Amino acid sequence: MSFYGLVDGTEASLKKYLGSLSGVDQVGADARAAMLATRSIKTTSKRWAIDTAITMVDLTTLEGADTPGKVKALCTKAVRPDPTDSTVPSVGAVCVYNDMVEIARTHLDLIGGQHVGVAAVSTAFPSGRASMVVKIQDTKDAVEAGASEIDMVIDRGAFLSGRYIEVFDEIVQIREVCGTKAHLKVIFETGELVTYDNVRKASFLAMAAGADFIKTSTGKVAPAATAPVVLVMLEAVRDFYAMTQVRIGVKPAGGIRNTKDAIKQLVLVNETAGPEWLKPSLFRIGASALLNDLLMQRMKMDDGYYASPQYVTID
Distance CA 247, CA 213 (A): 9
The minimum distance between CB 54 and another protein, in angstroms, equals: 8
The minimum distance between CB 35 and another protein, in angstroms, equals: 8
Write the CB contacts of 285 (distance below 8 Å, at least 6 apart in sequence).
53, 56, 57, 58, 251, 252, 253, 256, 262, 265
51 binds another protein (CB under 8 A): yes
144 binds another protein (CB under 8 A): no
Pick the catalytic residue from 82, 138, 151, 212: 151
- Is 15 marked active-site? no
Q: Which is nearer to another protein, 37 or 136 (CB)?
A: 37
Q: Please, how many CA atoms are within 13 Å of residue 264, restricted to the half-sphere of its CB?
A: 22
Distance CA 224, CA 212 (A): 20
- Is 260 marked active-site? no
Q: What would you report as the CA-atom Rg of the chain, rounded to the nearest whole angstrom?
A: 19
The minimum distance between CB 2 and another protein, in angstroms, equals: 24
Q: Which is nearer to another protein, 108 or 234 (CB)?
A: 234
Give the rounded distance of the alpha carbon of 196 from its chain centre: 18
- Is 151 marked active-site? yes
The minimum distance between CB 95 and another protein, in angstroms, equals: 20
CA angle 174, 178, 183 (to 5 degrees): 105
20 binds another protein (CB under 8 A): no
Of 153, 105, 111, 128, whose CA–CA distance to 286 is shortest?
153
268 binds another protein (CB under 8 A): no
Write the CB contacts of 303 (distance below 8 Å, at least 6 apart in sequence).
none
Question: What is the per-residue binding string for another protein in 205-244, x denoting contact by CB under 8 A?
Answer: ------------------------------x---------
Active site residues: 151, 215, 251
What residue ranges bind another protein (CB under 8 A)? 22-25, 27-29, 31-32, 38-46, 48-49, 51-52, 55, 89, 235, 266-267, 270-271, 275-276, 278-279
